[in-house]
Structure 1
Amino acid sequence: MTFIESITLEVADPTAADRFYATAFGLGTQLRLRASEAPTTGFRGFTLSLTVSQPSTVNSLVDAAIDAGATPLKPASKSLWGYGGVVQAPDGTIWKVATSAKKDTGPATRESDEMVLLLGVADVTASKRFYVDRGLAVARSFGSKYVEFAAGSGPVKLALYKRRALAKDAGVPADGTGSHRLVLGGDAGAFTDPDGFAWEAASLTGTP
């Protein structure tokens, strides 16, 4: 089964980005960084989410990210599905920190349980078919609105969402042009999906 083995963010200053992610989220090998000045404007078409155990941990990570230089896009708050907030890292990547729990069951931590990469796509059904043809296994699917693939033994779960719906969820306009500033590493070889997201063979991705 194909799965994501690594995520590489293309950033203007890898040293500064590495410092931010270590300070804000304590991320290590799940995330790789690569220097790039590729032109990009507006919404880059994806978000990264950290799923955590309880609301106080959401607050802990969101506050740490803002203290490290992130811009708040949506303050942490309750919703029908749980509790979460959205920030934009100094390199431009949008992060959501969320939990399905509505009450704390212990002290706040800075631990995340899962990382989810949400790609905003033009046609969820067509993109789902594209990825299934390349060996990804569907874990959950809600018609033409949302698809989630099995993570397997990879560190990151991949999901597909309508681009405009994803931008709305992130609290930003859907318009954007240029590079996604994102490269996915996996064992399915090198290819580019229908929405321009690039995959590389895992051995060719940037080093942590």
Structure 2
Amino acid sequence: MSTICLYGSASGGIDRRHVELAATVGRLIGERGHDLVYGGGGTSVMGAAEAAARAAGARTTGVMPRALMEVELPPEGLGELVVTDDMRERKAEMDARADAFIVLPGGLGTLEELFEIWVARTIGLHTKPLAVLDLDGHYAGLRTWLEDLVARGFARPLAFEVVHWGADPATALDHLESAPRERISLPSSEILGSFADFPDDRRERP
């Protein structure tokens, strides 16, 4: 058994297929014997995943900043609710409780969570696996832009090697359960980049 951290939208007006996807993910988390930690909301993608996970036997833990308590509406029956002072504390608490991460369709908050945990993985700050469920190309434009960053040297190819991208919930859970947990070590040459090729006047500046 492990605890899977789920990121996804808590907003209303979401495509019903995304809510159904979240419910499927939650059900699979419970059926496979895992627990769930998530943002604590009882609506939209968040709420559907939590309700399905709990119904399938998972222990669910919500983590929510005090300022959002009346906005995201924690569901009744939630196993545990952790109230934090702010968003940074919320993310830290979720990260600390998680053994793996899965990202569902979401907006700015979900993207912030994805990038923070993704960057930490690529620089070796943790070894927890990460999967992104990209139903109907929700993240297609983002992925195209990120691939262009790799092509232009702003990001390393390794960035995509540590993330499972797909649309099938069962395959994503398979990845989280079986992915190797090896810490990434950055060679000093990659950290320094092409500093040695800078003009002399730039290298000598204080």
Q: How high is the TM-score relative to the length of structure 1?
A: 0.24
Q: How high is the TM-score relative to the length of structure 2?
A: 0.25
| Bigger fraction of residues in helix | 2
